[in-house]
């Protein structure tokens, strides 16, 4: 792709993101032919033998679900499977998660007891899931107290105000320091966030280099780095330099604290 085309694509994406809070331009453009198909299918269905009677008040148009592929976020899809398998291999009696996806901690609670900590408390209940209010910059946990700890695709948001947290340019670094504080000697931290050329995409997230993350966790020992690359491929045990020129990859780290 030429530099000119790249700039045009970035500008188009920027315009899309700025209008997204008001209206999804892509869906707006696509919606009209889908409305036509919706009402065409409505008429055809009502004429089919055995079709149920239904009223307009019960209609529920879903106009954007017909596609030739299932859309997923490769970062979250691979990271949750990766972390779940790694934690299952160790079989901790208790696992603590800070702010990761609720689906992940819910599934994990089927195989071990889980304490989930976040500033936004979900209204859910599961037998093996304990939910606690807590700020990642001031975790309600003692020093060196957690043997199995995860924080997946969370730290890159800290300090940008996206989720109601305080603005802080060192938010990610402070979050890493706090995670390192509570990790027990010999324990394991499963950690992920966007990796590539460092930049801030305000107020969504930051992108960090692998060197920055290793520096933030300088008191810990790295056990593994895996990743989802820019083209969506999951690679286990990737070399950090492979990700240096990435735009928006995702690094999956395992750290331990020396005994």
- CATH number of the domain bearing residue 117: 3.40.50.150
Residue 3 has pLDDT above 70, yes or no: no
The β-bridge partners of 185 are 257
Residue 93 and residue 163 in one domain: yes
Length of the chain counted residue by residue: 259
Q: Which long-range contacts (CB under 8 A, 24 or more apart) does 167-171 make?
A: 168/137, 171/137
Sign of the Cα pseudo-torsion (117, 123, 124, 125, in order): positive
Tell me the average pLDDT across 120-137: 96
Residue 41 and residue 143 in one domain: no
- Closest residue by Cα to residue 239 from 249, 247, 231: 249
- For residue range 24-52, list pLDDT tens digits in order: 888 888 899 999 999 999 999 999 999 99
Residue 17 and residue 122 in one domain: no
Residue 143 and residue 98 in one domain: yes
Q: By percentage, how much of the chain surpasses pLDDT 90?
A: 82
Domain count, the chain: 2
Residue 100 and residue 160 in one domain: yes
- 55 DSSP 8-state letter: -
Q: Could you list the residue range(s) of the whole structural domain that residue 23 is in?
A: 3-58
Q: What is the pLDDT of residue 26?
A: 81
Residue 209 and residue 251 in one domain: yes
Greater confidence, 62 or 8? 62
- Closest residue by Cα to residue 147 from 185, 113, 107: 185
- For residue range 191-228, list pLDDT tens digits in order: 999 999 999 999 999 999 999 999 999 999 999 999 99
14 in a structural domain: yes
pLDDT band at 2 (very low <50, low <70, confident <90, very high): low
Instruction: Tell me the pLDDT of the chain averaged across its residues.
Output: 94
Model confidence, pTM: 0.89
Neighbours of 246 (CB within 10 A): 21
Greater confidence, 18 or 75? 75
Residue 78 and residue 53 in one domain: no
Residue 206 and residue 247 in one domain: yes
Residue 79 and residue 121 in one domain: yes
E-strand ranges in the chain read: 94-98, 113-118, 129-133, 146-152, 183-195, 199-201, 205-207, 221-228, 234-235, 249-256
Residue 1 has pLDDT above 60, yes or no: no
């Amino acid at each position: 792709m030429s530099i000119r085309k790249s700039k045009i694509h970035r500008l188009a994406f920027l315009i899309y993101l700025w209008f997204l809070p008001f209206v999804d331009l892509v869906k707006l453009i696509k919606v009209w032919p889908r409305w036509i198909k919706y009402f065409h299918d409505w008429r055809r269905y009502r004429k089919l033998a055995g079709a149920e009677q239904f009223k307009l008040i019960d209609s529920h148009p879903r106009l954007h679900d017909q596609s030739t592929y299932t859309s997923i976020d490769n970062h979250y899809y691979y990271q949750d499977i990766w972390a779940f398998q790694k934690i299952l291999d160790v079989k901790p009696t208790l696992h603590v998660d800070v702010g990761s996806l609720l689906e992940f901690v819910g599934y994990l609670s089927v195989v071990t007891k889980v304490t989930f900590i976040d500033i936004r408390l979900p209204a859910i209940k599961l037998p093996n899931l304990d939910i606690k209010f807590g700020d990642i910059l001031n975790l309600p946990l003692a020093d060196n107290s957690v043997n199995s700890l995860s924080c997946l695709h969370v730290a890159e948001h800290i300090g940008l105000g996206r989720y109601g947290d305080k603005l802080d340019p060192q938010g990610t670094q402070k979050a890493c320091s706090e995670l390192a504080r509570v990790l027990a000697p010999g324990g394991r931290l499963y950690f992920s966030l966007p990796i590539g050329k460092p930049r801030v995409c305000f107020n969504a997230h930051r992108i960090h280099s692998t060197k920055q993350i290793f520096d933030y966790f300088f008191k810990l020992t790295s056990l593994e780095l895996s990743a989802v690359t820019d083209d969506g491929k999951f690679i286990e045990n990737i070399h950090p330099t492979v990700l240096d020129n990435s735009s928006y990859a995702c690094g999956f780290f395992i750290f331990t604290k020396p005994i």
